[in-house]
């Protein structure tokens, strides 16, 4: 647990307990993931005694005793619009890199609005004045661009994905593709292991992306949220929050705030430029899910281990709606289909839900007997997700099962779209040590690459024309290896050994990858050309 935990060992312990004692695993998994050993013992003991009492109790039509404890999943209630009663106004704590202080959290909860707190109104007004928009880059290749008054999602923007100008790539074709290597540019110490994935905020300073300012936002198990200069790694600001941070941040539609979940059950809205607290919203349990920003409504959507999805309104500092997911907490990140206004959510209770983005109403559900740690991936034709039963599945946006692809071990990794001119493809890792490229039209294997460790985090696919390649895929294995592959055939292009386990997912801007490591450091790694590639073993499997 001190090194961040191991979800696979948790599942093995869960299987052993539930098999030997014949217990329902849904709520026990939550206790194993979030509580102490004594809490686990208490949960199992209570469940066993409750089970024995139920066996000896009279049937319901004879007047059974009152229900005391149950591991059965709750029924899904209707969507609950909320008042802002769950919001909190926190004191600002902006700390330097050597500070060990932690902000105290007031126990009272007050209704809040920008008008009630003048400082909030000032921060919102300043955010609206950001002149040239921004680009946000997150794990699994998620790219959101907001510029001036034009709002769009761009997953294949040449400039956003680091593509070099056409005159550069025209000087060589794929036959003359450069040999590549990975070199560390800078590191930043977070004070404890980093499981969260970085997010890059690239701010325009003119009408093009020729002049930009890029910032890396990342949290760690030290409770610290850092903002780092992408070019140098210098610390711009640091916040110490109320608990561990495993969630990646989201950037609000205005670009002025970053949002992150925390083990203390809170969702923090802080100023992107200064780290000042704008608003803190409290949920009922740890927040490990990465928030998602709806580019149309501006709502921030996030899951919690309390089993709910929340839609949070930055403007009014309130919760617009929340939805109980029925069983199990929400570990993975919500996935948004903006044009169809559908939101996809997966739970540790084994449910995949499609919700109406604007109301939280359930459109359809799919249930399995195993938990989902993987986050859904939304493509044009389908939504895909990995499962700890070793499968990667594709569903239509109407909820029909389209295909099923099997790996040889549990899948904790989240699928990533792979740009391809012919068909839609995705890349996804497995605990069998491989990353798979799958054709999303029929669920057929395109290629498979075997790493030297397990693949927990999400791969990243991006345009490689700056290096004379087509598509490149970057991924991490838990033994500390960073891999760079040819996205067309899975062949190895470069690799780098880092001195710690890797559970973080890499992101890219220009020619550099950023990733967190369990040796407490955040790494910025340049993808560079070399005259001759060093001899290396090709781990690609046919």
For residue 224, being part of any structural domain is answered with yes
Per residue, what are the HEC states of 497-518? ECCCCCCCCCEEECCEEEEECC
How confident is residue 34, by pLDDT bands cut at 50, 70 and 90? low
| pLDDT score of 364 | 98
- The dihedral over CA atoms of 473, 477, 480, 483, expressed in degrees to the nearest 10, equals -20
| pLDDT score of 338 | 79
In angstroms, the CA 397 to CA 415 distance is 16
CA proximity to 186, closest of 498, 521, 459, 530: 521
For residue 382, being part of any structural domain is answered with yes
| pLDDT score of 143 | 84
Residues 283 and 400 in one domain: yes
Residues 34 and 178 in one domain: no
Label the pairing between strands 277-282 and 87-88. antiparallel
For residue 296, being part of any structural domain is answered with yes
Query: What is the average per-residue pLDDT within 173-188?
Result: 78
How confident is residue 361, by pLDDT bands cut at 50, 70 and 90? very high
- Do 34 and 285 form a contact (C-beta atoms < 8 A)? yes
- Do 461 and 469 form a contact (C-beta atoms < 8 A)? no
Higher-scoring residue by pLDDT: 164, 29: 29
- Do 112 and 319 form a contact (C-beta atoms < 8 A)? no
How confident is residue 42, by pLDDT bands cut at 50, 70 and 90? low
For residue 429, being part of any structural domain is answered with yes
Q: What is the CATH number of the domain that holds 474?
A: 2.130.10.10
Higher-scoring residue by pLDDT: 210, 185: 185
For residue 85, pLDDT over 70 is answered with: no
Contacts of 434 (CB under 8 A, 6+ apart): 407, 408, 448, 449, 450, 451, 455, 541
How confident is residue 268, by pLDDT bands cut at 50, 70 and 90? very high
Query: What is the average per-residue pLDDT within 490-502?
Result: 97
Higher-scoring residue by pLDDT: 270, 132: 270
| pLDDT score of 169 | 30
Query: What is the average per-residue pLDDT within 215-220?
Result: 98
CA proximity to 534, closest of 495, 502, 488: 495
Residues 380 and 478 in one domain: yes
In angstroms, the CA 158 to CA 343 distance is 27
pLDDT digits (tens, 9 = 90+) for 140-175: 788 887 654 333 333 333 333 333 333 233 233 334
Higher-scoring residue by pLDDT: 211, 239: 239
The half-sphere exposure of 530 on its side-chain side, counting CA atoms within 13 A, is: 13
Query: What is the average per-residue pLDDT within 55-76?
Result: 35
- Do 463 and 439 form a contact (C-beta atoms < 8 A)? no
Per residue, what are the HEC states of 335-381? EEECCCCEEEEECCCCEEEEEECCCCCEEEEEECCCCCCCCCEECCC
Residues 194 and 333 in one domain: yes
Higher-scoring residue by pLDDT: 127, 232: 232
For residue 139, pLDDT over 90 is answered with: no
CA proximity to 198, closest of 212, 186, 210, 181: 186
In angstroms, the CA 491 to CA 504 distance is 22
- Do 334 and 302 form a contact (C-beta atoms < 8 A)? yes
Of 42, 62, 82, which marks where a domain is finished? 62
For residue 110, being part of any structural domain is answered with no
Number of domains in the chain: 2
For residue 423, pLDDT over 60 is answered with: yes
| pLDDT score of 531 | 59
**Structural domain harbouring 21:** 7-62
Query: What is the average per-residue pLDDT within 413-425?
Result: 86
Query: What is the average per-residue pLDDT within 76-100?
Result: 41
Q: How far is CA 190 from CA 98, 369, 435, 522, in A?
A: 10, 37, 29, 7
How confident is residue 474, by pLDDT bands cut at 50, 70 and 90? very high
- Do 323 and 351 form a contact (C-beta atoms < 8 A)? no
Higher-scoring residue by pLDDT: 136, 131: 136
In angstroms, the CA 228 to CA 218 distance is 8
For residue 21, pLDDT over 90 is answered with: no
Q: Which helix (H) or strand (E) holds 19?
A: helix 7-21
In angstroms, the CA 470 to CA 420 distance is 9
Residues 504 and 371 in one domain: yes
Of 62, 83, 106, which marks where a domain is finished? 62
Greatest mean pLDDT among 1-10, 39-48, 94-103 lies in: 39-48
Q: Which of 39-43, 334-338, 377-381, 508-512 has the lowest mean pLDDT?
A: 39-43
For residue 510, being part of any structural domain is answered with yes
Calculate the average pLDDT of the chain. 79
Label the pairing between strands 143-147 and 134-137. antiparallel
- DSSP string across 427-481: EEE-TTSEEEEEETTTTEEEEEEE-SS---S--EEEE-GGGT-SEEEEEE-TTSE
For residue 101, being part of any structural domain is answered with no
Residues 295 and 179 in one domain: yes
Query: What is the average per-residue pLDDT within 364-392?
Result: 95
Of 47, 62, 77, which marks where a domain is finished? 62
How many of the other CB atoms lie within 10 Å of CB of 444? 12
For residue 438, pLDDT over 70 is answered with: yes
| pLDDT score of 390 | 97
How confident is residue 23, by pLDDT bands cut at 50, 70 and 90? low
Contacts of 493 (CB under 8 A, 6+ apart): 179, 180, 469, 472, 484, 485, 486
How confident is residue 383, by pLDDT bands cut at 50, 70 and 90? very high
For residue 127, being part of any structural domain is answered with no
Q: Which helix (H) or strand (E) holds 12?
A: helix 7-21
| pLDDT score of 31 | 58
Does the predicted model carry a pTM greater than 0.85?
no
CA proximity to 163, closest of 417, 468, 491: 468
């Amino acid at each position: 647990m001190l090194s961040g935990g191991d979800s696979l060992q948790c599942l093995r312990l869960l299987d052993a307990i539930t098999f030997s004692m014949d217990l329902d695993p849904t709520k026990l998994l939550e206790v194993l993931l979030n509580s102490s050993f004594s809490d686990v013992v208490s949960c199992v003991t209570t469940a066993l005694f409750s089970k024995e009492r139920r066996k000896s109790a009279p049937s319901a039509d004879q007047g059974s005793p009152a229900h005391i404890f149950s591991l059965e999943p709750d029924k899904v209630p209707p969507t609950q619009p909320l008042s802002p009663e769950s919001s909190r106004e926190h004191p600002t704590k902006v700390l330097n890199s050597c500070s060990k202080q932690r902000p105290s959290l007031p126990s009272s909860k007050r209704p809040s609005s920008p008008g009630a707190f003048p400082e909030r109104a000032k921060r919102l007004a300043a955010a609206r004045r950001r002149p040239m928009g921004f680009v946000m880059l997150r794990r699994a290749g998620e790219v959101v661009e907001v510029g001036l008054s034009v709002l769009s999602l761009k997953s294949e923007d040449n400039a956003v994905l680091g593509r070099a100008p056409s005159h550069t790539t025209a000087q060589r074709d794929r036959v003359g593709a450069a040999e590549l290597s990975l070199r560390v540019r800078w590191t930043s110490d977070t004070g404890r292991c980093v499981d969260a994935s970085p997010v890059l905020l690239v701010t325009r300073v003119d009408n093009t992306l020729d002049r930009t300012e890029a910032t890396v936002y990342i949290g760690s198990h030290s409770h610290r949220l850092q903002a780092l200069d992408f070019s140098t790694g210098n610390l711009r600001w640091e916040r110490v929050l109320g608990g561990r941070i495993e969630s990646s941040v989201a950037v609000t539609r205005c670009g002025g705030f970053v949002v992150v979940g925390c083990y203390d059950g809170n969702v923090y809205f802080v100023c992107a430029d200064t780290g000042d607290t704008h608003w803190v919203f409290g949920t009922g349990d740890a927040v490990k899910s990465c928030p998602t920003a709806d580019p149309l409504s501006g709502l921030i959507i996030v899951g919690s281990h309390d089993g709910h999805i929340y839609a949070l309104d930055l403007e009014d500092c309130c919760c617009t709606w929340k939805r109980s997911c029925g069983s199990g907490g929400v570990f993975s990140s919500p996935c948004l289909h903006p044009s169809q206004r559908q939101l996809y959510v997966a739970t540790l209770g084994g449910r995949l839900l499609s919700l109406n983005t604007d109301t939280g109403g359930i459109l359809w559900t799919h249930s399995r007997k195993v938990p989902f740690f993987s986050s859904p991936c939304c493509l044009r034709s389908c939504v895909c997700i990995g499962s700890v039963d070793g499968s990667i599945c594709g569903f239509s946006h109407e909820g029909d099962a389209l295909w099923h692809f099997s790996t040889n071990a549990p899948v904790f990794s989240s699928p990533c779209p792979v740009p391809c001119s012919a068909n839609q493809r995705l890349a996804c890792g497995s605990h069998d040590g491989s990353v798979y490229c799958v054709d999303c039209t029929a669920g057929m294997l395109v290629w498979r690459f075997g790493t030297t460790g397990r693949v927990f985090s999400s791969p990243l696919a991006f345009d490689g024309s700056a290096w004379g390649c087509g598509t490149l895929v970057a991924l991490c294995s838990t033994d500390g290896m960073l891999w760079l592959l040819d996205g067309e055939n899975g062949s190895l292009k470069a690799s780098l050994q880092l001195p710690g386990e890797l559970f973080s997912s890499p992101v890219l801007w220009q020619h550099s990858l950023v990733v967190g490591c369990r040796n407490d450091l955040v790494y910025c790694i340049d993808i560079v050309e070399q005259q001759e590639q060093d001899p290396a073993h090709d781990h690609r499997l046919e």
